[in-house]
Amino acid sequence: MKYKVNEKGYYGDFGGAYIPEMLYPNVEELRQNYLKIIADPDFQKEFHQLLKDYVGRPSPLYLAKRYSERYGVNIFLKREDLNHTGAHKINNTIGQILLAEKLGKKRIIAETGAGQHGVATATVCALRNLECVIYMGEVDIERQAPNVARMKMLGAKVVPASSGSKTLKDATNEAMRDWINNPVDTHYIIGSVVGPHPYPDMVAIFQSIISEETKKQLLAQTGNDQPDYVLACVGGGSNAMGMFYHFMDDENVKLIAVEAAGKGVSSGFSAATTYLGNEGVLHGSRSILMQTPDGQVVEPHSVSAGLDYPGIGPQHAHLFKTGRGQYVSITDEESLEAGLLCTKLEGIIPAIESAHALAYLEKMQFKGGENVVVCLSGRGDKDLDTYIKYFNL
Amino acid sequence: MNRIKQLFREKKNILSIYYTAGYPNTGDTIQIAEALQKSGADILEIGFPYSDPVADGPVIQASSKQSLDQGMTLKLLFEQLKELRKNVTIPVLLMGYVNPVLQFGVEKFCEACAEVGVDGCIVPDLPMVEYEEFYKDCFEKHNLANVFLITPQTAEERIRKIDGLTNGFIYLLSSSATTGKNLEVGNTTEAYFSRIKGMDLKNPTMIGFGISDKQTFDKACSYANGAIIGTAFVKAISEGNLEENISNFMKKFKD
C-alpha cells in the first residue's frame, strides 16, 4: 500500500485539496462518502453489471504476434480501445455517474480534451437521464469535430473554453468555475487522476479494473500474473494509473509511463511534464507541472489532445519521485509512426495517445522473451484527420 | 498594533478595494494605491496575477492575463512595492493563488511582504489544514494576517476554526460564486449574513463578491464591518485616465 493515498489525501509529497472555500463543501461531501459508496455491494453489483453488459468488459488481453516477433518478446495489448465509446474513459464515468446518483446530484459537468472523456460522460448521462454540460477548449472543438457532434447527439451541451491556450487546461478551469457557481445540485466528473483529493484516488479506483483484469488474463495466458514491463501513456494519467494500479506493489514489475514530448522536449512545444516541470499546485492538487519560475502554468503542446496537459496526477508524481515508475517521452512524429506501425502489424488503428506508449517499444532494450503489457487506451477513429494529414493518405 | 486591527477598532463601514497588480499597465501599482487612499479607500487588496485563476470571473481573469502578458511577476511586484509605504498608510493585503507563492518560496514571500509593509494575505486556494501545518508559523513570525473565505455553505464548526486561525478579518462571500456576480440580498442571503453576525466572532467580517455601488455597499455594511469591491473597480480602470477613473469610481461610495 505504500503508493496509495494516505488518510490526509497525500501520496508522499503530492496530492491534497488546494481548492477555494467555495468548493470545499462539494469536495468534502465526496471525500466523506466515496469509499463508503464504492464499497457498497449494491454499488459494486451495478457497476460491474454495466461494465460487463454496457461497456463490454472484460476487454481482451491480446498477444500481438507480429509485434512480439519484431521485438523478440511477448507483447500483450490491453484492448481498452474495444470499450463502448472507444477508450478507457468510460470505466471512470460509469463509476462516477452511479456515485453522483447516490449523492442525489441532478446535473453533471465535465471537462474534455480529445473529447473522449466528454463523450464518455455524455454517454452515461444519456444512459441515466441526467443533465450534462461539457467544457471543451475552442482549439479542441475544432480539431475533434466528430466527438463534438457525438456529445451533442447524446444530449450534452458543449460549452467552449476560450481563455488561455483554449485546450484541456482551460476547459478544466471553466468546469471548476461552473462547479463553484453550482455547488449543490452538480457533480463534476473529472476525467483523469488529477484534481483535489479524493478525485485522483476515486478515478484510479474506477480505472483499476484495467490491471485487475490484466492480472487474471496474464495468469490464464502465461501462468504468471506478473509481467516484466507495463507501459501506458500519460497526460493527466488515468489509463496509466488504471494499468499500474494492481502492479504498483509488485516491485519486480517495471512501470513505464510515456509522456508527450510534442515537437521535442527542448522545442518549447512539449507536454513532457516530468522532464520540463517541477513541483507546484495545479487544479487542486500538489503535483508536478510545467511552469515559469514565477509559478505561471506553461501552455503545453502535443499532437494528441488527450496528452496536451501541463501536469500529471499526484500519484504519478509520487511514482516518479520515488523512482517506482520510469517516466519517458515520445515526440509527435514518433507517435504517429508508431500508430501506423500498429495498424500495419496488427490491424489496429490506435488513438495517438496510445500510440505514444507503443512508440516507446522501439526504444527499449530487451533481453528476449520478456512479457510486456501495453495499454491500448483508445482507438484511432477520432484521430483520422491527423493521420491523414501527416501521412498524406 | 498592526494596521488592520487598528483600522477595525477605529472605523465602521470599511471599504476595501481589490485591484490586479500590473493592470492596466505594469507600472501602475503604486499610483493606484496612492490614488485609492487619497479618494477614501480603507484597505487595499493587491492581486498578484496567476495564469489559472479558477475562483475569479472573466473580468479579473482578463486583467490577470493582461498583466502577465505585460511582464508582471511576483518578484517585480515586490520591487514596485518598495515604494508602497512612502505615502500609503492604510492596510494593504496581497491576494493571489498559492502556486506563485510556492515557487517564490513561502519563507521568502513572507519576508518580502514584511519588508515592503504588507499587512496580510488572501490566498483562496490555500486550504486551512495546509495553512495550519506548513504556513502559519511563518505568517505569524512576520506579522502577516491570513484572511480566509467563508460561504453560505461553510459549516458553523468550520467558521469557528477559521475565526481561531486568523487575526485579520473574515472574508464573507455573498454567494458561492466566482467573482463578478451581483449581490442579491434575498431571504437566504439575509439569513446567512444574520447567522454570521449572530455568531459573535472574534474577527471582524467583510462582505466580498458582488458589491458594485453605494446601495449594495450600504446593504453589506448593515451585516458586516465593511465590504470588498473588486470586479467593478477593475472594470472602471480598464481604459482612460487612471486618476480620474479612480476618483470618479470612489465618489459613488461616498455620502
Task: Name the residue type at position B56.
Answer: D
Is residue A321 situated within a structural domain?
Answer: yes
Flag whether B203 is in a domain: no
- Closest partner residue to A181 (CB to CB) among B51, B124, B177 is B177
Number of structural domains in chain B = 1
Do residue A227 and residue A241 come from a single domain? yes
Tell which A residues from 216 to 245 touch B, by Cβ distance under 8 Å. none
Mean pLDDT of the region B196-214: 89
Shared-domain flag, residues A33 and A148: yes
Question: Cβ of A18 and B57 within 8 Å?
Answer: no
**CATH code (residue A93):** 3.40.50.1100
Q: Which of A210-219, A304-313, B140-149, B182-191 has the lowest mean pLDDT?
A: B182-191
Residue A262 lies in a domain: yes
Residues of A in contact with B57 (CB under 8 A): 177
pLDDT at B211: 81
- Looking at CA atoms only, how far is residue B162 from chain A in angstroms? 11
Residues of A in Cβ contact (< 8 Å) with B149: 20-22
Q: What residue has cell string 501521412?
A: A391
pLDDT class of B167 with cuts at 50, 70, 90: confident
- Is B87 within a domain? yes
Q: Describe the crossing of helices A199-207 and A24-39 by its angle, rounded to 10 degrees.
A: 30
Task: For residue A246, give the DSSP letter.
Answer: G
Of B52, B55, B181, the CB nearest to A20: B55
Across the interface, do A180 and B127 touch by the CB < 8 Å criterion? no
Q: Which residues of A are catalytic?
A: 89, 111, 377
Interchain CB distance below 8 Å, A291 and B65 = no
The count of domains in chain A is: 2
Residue B1 has pLDDT above 60, yes or no: no
Instruction: Tell me which residues of chain A, numbers 152 to 171, contact chain B at a CB-CB cutoff of 8 Å.
Output: 163-164, 169
Pair A356, A384 in one domain:
yes
Asked if residue B77 belongs to a domain, the reply is: yes
The three grid cell numbers given for residue B98, joined into one nine-digit string: 498559492
B189 pLDDT band, cuts 50/70/90, is confident
Pick from A222, A135, A144: nearest CA to A177: A135
Q: What is residue B182's predicted lDDT score, i.e. its pLDDT? A: 59
- Counting residues of chain B whose pLDDT is more than 70, the rounded percentage is 94
Is A272 in the same domain as A172? Answer: no
Extract the C-alpha cell encoding A297: 502554468
Q: What is the pLDDT of residues B84-110, one digit of tens each?
A: 999 999 999 999 999 999 999 999 999
CATH number reported for the structural domain that contains residue B42 in this entry? 3.20.20.70
pLDDT band at B140 (very low <50, low <70, confident <90, very high): very high
The pLDDT assigned to B113 comes to 98
Same domain, residue pair A147 and A262: no
A176 and A99 fall within a common domain: yes
How far does the CA of residue B255 sit from the closest CA of chain A (Å)?
33
Q: Which of B52, B153, B158 sits opposite A173 (nearest CB)?
A: B52
- The whole-number pLDDT of residue A107 equals 97
Let me know how long chain B is.
255
pLDDT of residue B81: 98
Given B75, B125, B158, which is nearest A19 (Cβ)? B125
pLDDT of residue B255: 62
Question: Touching check for B75 and chain A: CB below 8 Å?
Answer: yes
* A293 chain-B contacts, CB cut-off 8 A: 103
- The pLDDT score that the predictor gives to residue A278 is 97
Among candidate residues A273, A261, A242, A192, the one with its CA nearest the CA of residue A373: A242
Taking CB atoms and an 8 Å limit, are A281 and B57 in contact across chains?
no
Q: For residue A112, give the nearest of A149, A161, A153, A55 by alpha carbon.
A: A161
pLDDT of residue B185: 61
Inter-chain residue contact A21 with B98, CB threshold 8 Å: no
Q: Which residues of B touch A280 (CB under 8 A)?
A: 99, 102-103
Together in a domain, A105 and A198: yes
B70/B73 Cα distance (integer angstroms): 10
Residue A6 located in a structural domain: no
The x, y and z cell numbers of residue B151, run together, are 460561504
C-alpha cell at A344: 500495419
The residue of chain A with its CA nearest to that of B104 is A294
Domain boundary among A203, A231, A250: A203
Is some CB atom of chain A closer than 8 A to the CB atom of B124? yes
- For residue B46, being part of any structural domain is answered with yes
Going A190 to A357 to A308 to A310, the CA torsion angle's sign is: positive
Q: Pick A22's closest partner by Cβ from B55, B100, B158.
A: B55
| Virtual torsion, Cα B65, A15, A276, A232, nearest 10 deg | -120
Q: Which pLDDT value is given to residue B178?
A: 65
Domain end position, chosen among A153, A187, A203: A203
The pairing of beta strand B120-122 with beta strand B145-146: parallel
pLDDT at B58: 86
* Residue A276, C-beta contacts closer than 8 angstroms, at least 6 positions apart: A265, A270, A290, A298
User: Is residue B145's pLDDT more than 90?
Assistant: yes
| pLDDT for res A173 | 87
- Domain holding A136, by residue range, is 17-50+89-203
CB–CB contact A281 B148 (8 Å): no
Domain check: are A112 and A198 in the same one? yes
Q: Report if residue B165 sits inside a domain.
A: no
> Is A2 domain-assigned?
no
Q: Cα–chain-centroid distance for residue A312?
A: 10
User: Which residues in chain B are contacts of A181 at CB distance < 8 A?
Assistant: 176-178, 181
Query: Is B55–A281 a contact, with Cβ atoms under 8 angstroms apart?
Result: no
Note the Cα A297 to chain centre separation in Å. 20
Same-domain check for residues A61 and A191: no
Same domain, yes or no: A364 and A302: yes
Residue type, A214: T
| B106 close to A (CB below 8 A) | no
Instruction: From chain B, pick out residues whose CB is under 8 angstroms from the CB of A169.
Output: 52
Per-residue pLDDT in tens (0 to 9) along chain A, 393 residues? 689 999 999 999 999 999 999 899 899 999 999 999 999 999 999 999 999 999 999 999 999 999 999 999 999 999 999 999 999 999 999 999 999 999 999 999 999 988 989 999 999 999 999 999 999 999 889 888 889 999 999 999 999 998 877 888 889 889 998 998 888 899 999 999 999 999 999 999 999 999 999 999 999 999 999 999 999 999 999 999 999 999 999 999 999 999 999 999 999 999 999 999 999 999 999 999 999 999 999 999 999 988 989 999 999 999 999 999 999 999 999 999 999 999 999 999 999 999 999 999 999 999 999 999 999 999 999 899 999 999 999
- Same-domain check for residues A234 and A363: yes
Among the three residues A160, A180, A203, which one is the final residue of a domain in this structure?
Answer: A203
* A183 and A296 together in one domain: no
| DSSP one-letter string for chain B | --HHHHHHHH-SSEEEEEEETT-SSGGGHHHHHHHHHHTT-SEEEEEPP-S--TTS-HHHHHHHHHHHHTT--HHHHHHHHTTHHHH--S-EEEE--HHHHHHH-HHHHHHHHHHHT--EEE-TTS-HHHIIIIIHHHHHHTT-EEPPEE-TT--HHHHHHHHHH-SS-EEEESSSS-TTPPP---HHHHHHHHHHHHT--SS-EEEESS--SHHHHHHHHTTSSEEEE-HHHHHHTSSS-HHHHHHHHHHTT--
* Alpha-carbon span B255 to B253, nearest angstrom: 7
Chain A touched by B188 (CB under 8 Å): no
| Structure confidence at residue A331 (pLDDT) | 98
Which chain B residues have a beta carbon less than 8 Å from that of A173?
Answer: 52, 54
Distance from the Cα of A57 to chain B's closest Cα (Å) equals 37
Please name which of A393, A168, A172, A203 lies closest in space to residue A302, comparing C-alpha atoms: A168
| Span B16-63, pLDDT tens digits | 999 999 999 999 999 999 999 999 999 999 999 999 998 888 899 999
Q: Which residues of A touch B130 (CB under 8 A)?
A: 16, 18
pLDDT value, residue B56: 87
Instruction: Give dist(CA A366, CA A291) in Å, integer.
Output: 35
